[in-house]
Amino acid sequence: MLTEEQRLVDDAARRYSREVLAPGAAAREKALAIEPAVFEGLASIGLLGMTVSPDWDGAGADYVSYALALMAVAEGDGAVSTVMSVHNAPFCAILERYGSDAHKAEVLRPAARGEFIGAFALTESQAGSDASALRTRAVRHGDRYVINGAKQFITSGKIGRYTIVFAVTDPANTKRGISAFLVPTDSTGYSVSKIEHKLGQKASDTCSLQFDDLELPLAAMIGGEGEGYKIALSSLESGRIGIASQSVGMAQAALDAAIRYAGERTSFGKRLMDHQAVNFRLVDAKTKLEAARQLVLSAARMKDAGVPCLEQACMAKLFASETAEAVCSVAIQTFGGYGYVEDFPVERIYRDVRVCQIYEGTSDIQKIIIGRSLAA
């Protein structure tokens, strides 16, 4: 069902994941960081600008290839896959679609080549899925915008070289008063106020950001004034396909580990795999995970065909993220007490996958969007 190009992408991503990412995942978690060499490796096989046009130094891959690559990377290290996902979409995707020629030449090109990591700053302490509740303000003073406010739960807020920041430019207009800005993270007034200590994906930095009289030239605005809300929503399809892909990849790693263990460990004179209770549990997990995979690939194919697929992307993200947690739970149960300790990877993967039901829109938000189609 895959083209030769898609198979090549999948093979390259899986090889890198197997040889580099998986062996170092536990060490990255303990270090609370991803080593630069990992990003250099991802860039070398074109995974940090996957769907960006070759005109802007991207790989020009389709979304099926992107989904396959994210699944493969997530199998090796969920934290790395999160950084890869945010960098590709929304960061690069927004710059390619809405950025000025200068943004594309000066920022998108090196980003697509993987020379640095980009971040996306929309969420605030009181505004998660409800982007219209933003309090960060951008006030124009002559030929400058001055930004004041704060953001929370920002992936790569510390390691990113540029961040797409959303701020209110017209407080009187709820949704059309938001604008997007391309912000260099070394700007005066940009600071990381806190690095979150998380349940999982600890190697991927998740930060609170503070903006104190951060001055930007008018040219830093992405799109037109008041287009920020539209820009933020523009990457929903690709973003949710990405998180769904991550979910499948992490769950696959946990299931593979459980299947190997069940084939090696003996109990009551036979392999765990030969106990029907264990066998059936793994069969159910494998079947549900395959259903999740096909939902993801179906949404990706629709995206490639230019067909609106927000509903399908939401269904894929909802089902894949919730299935992934269940599959990881089955994996831990298969390992028994060993599954609950750090000696085996399923404990870490279980923690890493849990956030997939939260970021890029919670499961409840996915249901709200899907539910709208029922009354259409």
* Residue of 154, 182, 56, 159 whose CA lies nearest to 108: 56
pLDDT over 90, % of the chain: 95
Q: For residue range 355-367, what is the model confidence (pLDDT) as tens digits?
A: 999 999 999 999 9
Helical pair 78-86 and 22-31, crossing angle rounded to 10 deg: 80
Model pLDDT, residue 290: 98
Q: For residue range 211-230, what is the model confidence (pLDDT) as tens digits?
A: 999 999 999 999 999 999 99
- Band (pLDDT 50/70/90 cuts) for residue 376 is low
The torsion angles phi and psi of 106, rounded to 5 degrees, stand at -90, -25
Catalytic machinery residues? 360
Side-chain-side CA neighbours of residue 190 (13 Å)? 21
Residue with tokens 């991503």: 13
Range 262-272 average pLDDT: 97
pTM: 0.97
Indicate the SS3 state at residue 359.
coil
Q: What string of DSSP letters covers 181-229?
A: EEEETTSTTEEEEEE---SS-TTS-EEEEEEEEEEEEGGGEESSTT-HH
Q: For the chain, what is the mean pLDDT?
A: 97
pLDDT for residue 174 is more than 80: no
Q: For residue range 98-119, what is the model confidence (pLDDT) as tens digits?
A: 999 999 999 999 999 999 999 9
